[in-house]
Chains A and B, each alone.
Chain A
Amino acid sequence: MKLERYELKAEDSLMVFEFVSNGPKGRIPKLVKFSETNLKGLYNLAFGDKNLDTGDLNDLSISNNGDSEKVLATVVAAIYAFTDYYPNSFVYAIGSTKARTRLYRMGITKYLNDVTKDFHIYGLCHDEWENFEKEIEYDAFLVQRKKRNFTL
């Protein structure tokens, strides 16, 4: 998977990332945040637009900046960086709307063969986690980086 993606900035714990979407609607700063949950080692992933005037964040906005695939590829790159740094972590993700959750599912489905080389991927269906499969509507997603075997 060699998708184009935006340059990422992060603070040194790699819990907060920032990048700038650039398209017909202009430059739109976006923030990606991994938040701790009640279970140590499980982080919630969320991202949204940053309003430069107010500093507020909005995960409901629809930018229509013509770069949704590049934006998703950049968020996936942030997950790679985060799970490099926190290799045993789980990352939980849910869309801010059902439509957006469906968009995430379509993104995972499109690159499933690639991402399953590196991640365990689960989908939440009827209040149970199952291994992610194509063509199933999930309510949320959970990913964990696969263990890597290094050889010299």
Chain B
Amino acid sequence: MNIEELNKRKTPVVIIDNFLKKYKDMPLFQDKVDKANEMLRTVGLPKNKSKRIHS
């Protein structure tokens, strides 16, 4: 399989660049993470999925 065929796949070819690690623990987009946590507190998960994620 050549690179063009690989790039047509749904799962992409990803180049690993560990320079990006510096962003991993930075509180980026924290307002959105806060919104996600608020959603979890008030709404939770879809009803038929709640058990699976906790298992």
How many A-B pairs with Cβ below 8 Å? 123
Chain B's interface: helix, strand, loop or mixed, by majority?
helix
Q: How far is the CA of A94 from the CA of B43 in the complex (A)?
A: 15
Q: How large is the interface on B (under 10, 10 to 19, 20 to 34, 35 or more residues)?
A: 20 to 34
Task: Write out the residue numbers on chain B whose beta carbons fall within 8 Å of the beta carbon of A124.
Answer: 39, 43
Q: How large is the interface on A (under 10, 10 to 19, 20 to 34, 35 or more residues)?
A: 35 or more
Contact in complex: B14, A38 (CB < 8 Å): no
**Does B51 interact with chain A (Cβ within 8 Å)?**
no
List residues 93-152 of chain A with CB under 8 A from any CB of chain B: 94, 96, 118, 120, 122, 124, 127-130, 140, 142, 144
Q: Give A contacts to B, CB under 8 Å.
A: 1-2, 5, 7-18, 31, 33, 35, 37-42, 44, 46, 48, 57, 59, 77-78, 80-81, 84, 88, 90, 92, 94, 96, 118, 120, 122, 124, 127-130, 140, 142, 144
